[in-house]
Amino acid sequence: MVLPQTERVAERAEAIDRLDGAEALARMIEVQIGAVESLRAALAQIEAAARLMAETLRGEGRLVYAAAGSSGLMALADGAELPGTFGIAQDRIAIRMAGGVPVDGAMTGETEDDVAAARAVLSELRPGDLVIALSASGTTPYPLAIARGAHDRGARVVSIACNPGTPLLDAADVAICLATPPEALAGSTRMGAGTAQKAALNLISTRAGVLLGHVHDGMMVNLRAENAKLRGRARAIVARVAGVSEPEAAAALDAAGGAAKPACLVAMGAPPGAARRLLDRHDGHLAPAMAALRTTSQDA
């Protein structure tokens, strides 16, 4: 029987239980690095997935993450951060994890086979949604059933798996195969495969944030400033982008209702309403809005 890559024992490498502490840990690090390196071969597909995500969020669709087990936790880690990082409305993101999101450390394995629960997810999909389906093996029944049925509901599918030629990849509009090396602990895909999946999701969503205009000069200009740390970050962003002091940035943020992007334009002299109209005119991208404001100011 030929085992899939995610179940194989690494050849020509000493098993981690035969190594001393530092050597065992170094071996695990090597596998993790190899897992992340697997993303390089999938950059074109990752870019295509990011463009689908940005297109979905420009429209009225939702991002529906579908996964089980460790892959589900990676999906949760990515999707739950998007509102705070990029200001994506929470009702535009759905995390559909087999058995539900665990709240007490209990995550039973049999839920990944629950195709009936997957059908319930399909019933809530609507045209314009983007399903992001994950499975290290590429065969997990729960996300596979969702990916296979999504097109009938008018949704599109991005699939991420770590074994080539698997059903989950075959069901996708954009198929991302991360050819991760055998795990340091055979079959424990929470390790290398999980790291690669999380990295791929982070790349997709961050690149989508760039395409949506939520990143300017490497800063998260559409962040949701919901705590003291993030309010301080928003002030620093506005001060740096607009070239003003932090007190001036704070005043601009107050005038803009706490939103950093329009606050940058307010700090440069635009009234709050005009700042928002400028952003709308330039599809939410701050750089061309700033350029237009400067031109208008020079012509005045």
Rounded to an integer, what distance in angstroms lies between the CA atom of residue 218 and that of residue 237?
Answer: 10
What is the pLDDT confidence band of residue 63, given thresholds at 50, 70 and 90?
very high
Are 136 and 85 found together in one domain?
yes
Per-residue CA distances from 126 to 7, 135, 155, 167 (Å): 35, 22, 6, 23
Are 166 and 231 found together in one domain?
no
Find the helix packing angle between 246-255 and 260-267, rounded to 10°: 120
We report the CATH number of the domain holding residue 237 as 1.10.8.1080
Whole-number average pLDDT of the chain: 92
pLDDT digits 0-9 by tens, 157-171: 999 999 999 999 999
Domain boundary among 163, 196, 211: 211
What is the pLDDT confidence band of residue 186, given thresholds at 50, 70 and 90?
confident
Give pTM, 2 decimals.
0.92
pLDDT digits 0-9 by tens, 17-44: 888 999 999 989 999 999 999 999 999 9
What is the pLDDT confidence band of residue 12, given thresholds at 50, 70 and 90?
low
Are 193 and 125 found together in one domain?
yes
pLDDT at 1: 44
Rounded to an integer, what distance in angstroms lies between the CA atom of residue 77 and that of residue 109?
Answer: 19
CA atoms within a 13 Å half-sphere pointing along the CA-CB vector of 140: 29
Are 62 and 177 found together in one domain?
yes
Annotated catalytic residue within 37, 47, 81, 248 = 81
> What percent of the chain is modeled with pLDDT above 90?
80
Are 157 and 206 found together in one domain?
yes
Residue 10 has pLDDT above 70, yes or no: no
Number of separate domains in the chain: 2
Between residues 13 and 250, which one has the greater pLDDT? Answer: 250
Annotated catalytic residue within 37, 112, 124, 248 = 112
> What percent of the chain is modeled with pLDDT above 70?
94
pLDDT digits 0-9 by tens, 101-133: 887 777 676 788 889 999 999 999 999 999 999
**Catalytic site includes residue 60:** no
pLDDT at 190: 84
Domain boundary among 157, 179, 211: 211
pLDDT digits 0-9 by tens, 212-234: 999 999 999 999 888 999 999 99
pLDDT at 168: 97
**Catalytic site includes residue 23:** no
How is the chain classified by DSSP, letter by letter?
-PPPGGGPPPTTS--GGGS-HHHHHHHHHHHHHHHHHGGGGGHHHHHHHHHHHHHHHHTT--EEEEE-HHHHHHHHHHHTTHHHHH---GGGEEEEETT---SSS---GGGGG-HHHHHHHHHH--TT-EEEEE-SSS--HHHHHHHHHHGGGT-EEEEEESSTT-HHHHT-SEEEE--PPPPSSTT-TTTHHHHHHHHHHHHHHHHHHHHTT-EETTEETT----SHHHHHHHHHHHHHHHT--HHHHHHHHHHTTT-HHHHHHHHTT--HHHHHHHHHHTTT-HHHHHHHHHHHHHH-
Are 34 and 161 found together in one domain?
yes
For residue 83, list its beta bridge partners. none
Range of the domain at 295: 215-299
Are 207 and 219 found together in one domain?
no
What's the token pair of residue 189? Answer: 């895909």
What is the pLDDT confidence band of residue 249, given thresholds at 50, 70 and 90?
very high
Are 268 and 154 found together in one domain?
no
Are 185 and 151 found together in one domain?
yes
pLDDT at 151: 97
